[in-house]
Amino acid sequence: MTLSYATTDFIEGGVISAVILLNIIVGFVQDYRAEKTMQSLHSLSAPLANVVRDNGQFVREKAEDLVVGDIVKISVGDIVPADLRLFDGMNLEIDEALLTGESLPAIKSPSLTLPHNVIVGVGDRTNMAFASSTVSKGRGLGIVVKTGMNTEVGMIAALLRNEGPIAKVSRFRRWCQGFKKGGKNILGLIGTPLQVKLSKFAIVLFLFAILLAIIVFSANKWQINNEVLIYGICVAVAVIPESLIAVLTITMAVGTKTMARGNVIVRKLQALEAVGGVTNICSDKTGTLTQGKMIAKKAYIPGLGLITVHDAIHPLDPTSGKIRHKEFTPSDSLSEGSGNDVDGEFVGKSAPLKMFLNAIALCNLATVSKSDRSSHSSAETLGEIGWSATGEPTEISLQVLAMRFCHGKQDLLNSGAWKLVAEHPFDSTVKRMSVVYQRAGRKSLDVFTKGAGEVIVPTLTLDEEQKDDIMRLIERMAGEGLRVLCVAHKSLPDPSLANNRAVVEQGLNFIGLVGLYDPPRVETKDAVRKCQIAGVKVHMLTGDHIRTATAIAHEVGILTPAIPAALASTIVMTAGQFDALSDQEIDELPQLPLVIARCSPSTKVRMVEALHRRGAFCVMTGDGVNDSPALKRADVGIAMGMNGSDVAKDASDLVLTDDNFASIVRAVEEGRRLFDNIQKFLMHLLISNISQVVLLLIGLAFRDNHGVSVFPLSPLEILWVNMITSSFLALGLGLEEAQPDIMLRPPHDLRAGVFTWEVIIDKMIYGVGDGQLGAKCNEKFWEPCHTVYRARATVFAVLSFLLLLTAWEVKHFSRSLFNLNPAKHQGPFAVFHAVWYNRFLFWAVVGGFVITFPVIYIPVFNTMVFHHMGISWEWGVVAGCAVVYLGIVESWKAVKRRCGWGSGKNYRLEGTWRGGFGWIMGSGKNWGQARLRQGRIR
């Protein structure tokens, strides 16, 4: 542009300015929309708070919407949303290291009152919870006293924002650091790994452009005049894909928005790039593979027998279903064929049942109530007929069971007979929970404990034979897919020992077992099967009993009925067995376990490390505070949005808003689609650049009578093709839908990135093909200027039309354009459906085709600006080149399919895969039978 103005070619300079300005405007609008999309998605993952609203119930609100006076509930794993004055709490400890520097959590005392006229340090205000600190233990209630920049952490932020010599760094060093950061930002070296990689690639192309300019000058023996200088600049500009980074940014923004619609919030863009290449998914069971709506189906109570729940349709409704009782001993059959129906009045007839219900109701933090749908909040689980619940699914199901006998926690507390003295919360390391209550009229305290059988049974006051009987019954119940909890009780004569957990949880009396059933999600089995076809292994890491975990794993398809004998002992393991192995022993296993039961956070970390040592790329899910290390170490950490803690979300890369395993699979599919589309538009842009470079370099051999090389393409034609024609085509390719076979391929190699050998070879074949065709169209460069202008218009038309065809051809790297989606469309008209479904790309191609004619034919505009003129019989050459090029590309794709090169190795299939996942691409006409010519799916 500058050179055009310098040489007084104001017409060409003005047109170039207009094209650049148009590209800037379009790029700005698209980038602005992409930025707005990203901001809206970030708001979805903003911190939430449990706050009381007008209806008197706790609802989930954004932390930024809190005001002074709001009542907020905090619990383990929460990030405190504002400065709170605590007025209630139980075993509450908060990590305030960011404010006080203390490594240990601060123990809170809600009942403490401090004098108003005494200044007390932050660390000594134990009746306060400060914003941005993390709850590490217990729970509490507080009233908001400060929000935003008025909080303690907000005042620190205000200090950092003030100008002044805060950091002891010299002005020169700060200037150097700012200059370095600004330079990286300008060069695109700040961003996601893929963005940085492509920016570095663009820098390499820039250096290559300089080299090409030097080649042009050398070919003219460094006799540089205006013509030679412009020609050198043309060759340099032709090699640089100007719209590469802009198209990448827009494509990634669209990808994040698509994932959000699929219930996956992207917190870190690196995960968006990487999730498509995962080889292993380590998933929790409860609420992810299963529905998370547990029903207490069976309860064994010594001295009473077996209580079973039948026909319960609504998990939260205590009136749904029937209760049946039968005489039972641990050695009897668990079949539900016999028994008598009972109701709430049965409690008064059985002291063992009453003690059991007291335990499961009081040793419980969940609440279940019948509420109006209009007052329902996102924090609650809502039943089909208006019953709502808050809390963990396990505790909700126990509370519902107690309420079936009109013996719920709220009923017991409202009676005034029970007062909470101490609480020892559940922890993944101890796998149990205990509460200590004072019963009215009694001096001794009542201890109620529930937890895993292998943890509770050793603490019981029973002989070894009785303990073995209980453990065998637990095994049998777990074998039916039930999650089994052991319930115990004891009297504590000394109230001063209530806070001593070791004393409280020893010498317990066995009062029952309860089996909870959490049915798998309907979509889980198909999602697991889809992963297996896609070459992604699914591992279940759960805290459940090994028999329960095994039963559910078989039900969802993680385990198959026929397990090889060599893997039988290691395919399913407990955390204790896995943790007992050394790293070397784990690495020597023929296959890592697909199911790990009684899993602890440290076991998850070891699993991630074992996968990494095998070169795997893994996803890890988690919801608790202790899952954070595993989420951080995994290649992609996924937190649960509904039941996950704030700490887990903060450590994650993705957040599931529905806690559904199928959403993870959709995220993998979207990641693969994004990777495919990046390769498509990258190939298209580079094909355009390579074809122009080859054409212009060949054009050096064609000189006029003065020995000056004749332009095969004028500077403005090159700019037009790069910034107008190719940019919109590349953007359309970035919006391509996922290919039907996208989950039939093995994961792509993330170490190779988008520049696979297939992309490199294809772009050279397609690009050099364009250049040779263009050169043949310029064989008459030695003719008079009139002929040169016609030839240049022909080259421009050939290049434009071939790029339009290329945009459709790179929709798939090995599948024919005329057989792009045989699952849906076959026959001679299939190509029309293939090019129509991506409307943006279709109209970009149509627009590029239509706009070529006015560029060539408008008088004066064509000769003065683009330096070409209208053509007539040359359209036959253009059509011939298009047909030949199309034949070359289709032949190359056929060769790849035939020889199994690149993506062609995944498509040597004919027919359909009869497993419920649709059609598998093939080029044969017999779609009635499925046959695998060569095994490609593992």
* Residue 343 Cα to chain centre, angstroms: 46
- Number of Cβ within 10 Å of residue 827's Cβ equals 11
Determine the 3-state secondary structure of 695 from DSSP.
helix
Residues 13, 14, 18, 19, CA torsion sign = negative
CA distance 371 to 379: 14
CA distance 739 to 820: 9
- Number of Cβ within 10 Å of residue 885's Cβ equals 21
CA distance 687 to 726: 10
- Number of Cβ within 10 Å of residue 693's Cβ equals 22
Please tell me the number of Cα atoms within 13 Å of 634 on its side-chain side. Answer: 33
Q: Which of 248, 250, 240 is nearest to 201 (CA)?
A: 240
**Beta carbons of 792 and 878 less than 8 angstroms apart:** no
Long-range contacts from 310-315, C-beta under 8 angstroms, 24+ separation: 310/336, 313/384, 314/383, 314/384, 314/385, 314/387, 315/383, 315/396, 315/397, 315/400
Residue bearing tokens 């006029």: 704
Q: Which of 146, 154, 132, 150 is nearest to 67 (CA)?
A: 146
- Cβ-in-10-Å burial (0-12, 13-18, 19+) of 354 comes to middle
CA distance 726 to 745: 29
Q: Which of 674, 670, 692 is nearest to 733 (CA)?
A: 674
- Per the structure block, which two tokens stand in for 810? 């790179």
Instruction: Please state at what angle helix 193-219 crosses helix 661-699, rounded to 10 degrees.
Output: 10
Please tell me the number of Cα atoms within 13 Å of 156 on its side-chain side. Answer: 9
Residue bearing tokens 């990689």: 197
Question: CA Rg, the chain, in Å?
Answer: 35
**Beta carbons of 471 and 410 less than 8 angstroms apart:** no
- Number of Cβ within 10 Å of residue 154's Cβ equals 17
| 608 CB-near residues (< 8 Å, 6+ apart) | 282, 618, 620, 630, 633, 634
Residue among 9, 70, 284, 762 flagged as catalytic? 284
Q: Return the bridge partners of 513, or none.
A: 300, 486
Determine the 3-state secondary structure of 95 from DSSP.
strand
CA distance 75 to 39: 28
Residues 859, 863, 864, 865, CA torsion sign = positive
Annotated active-site residue 317? The verdict is no
- Active-site residue set: 284
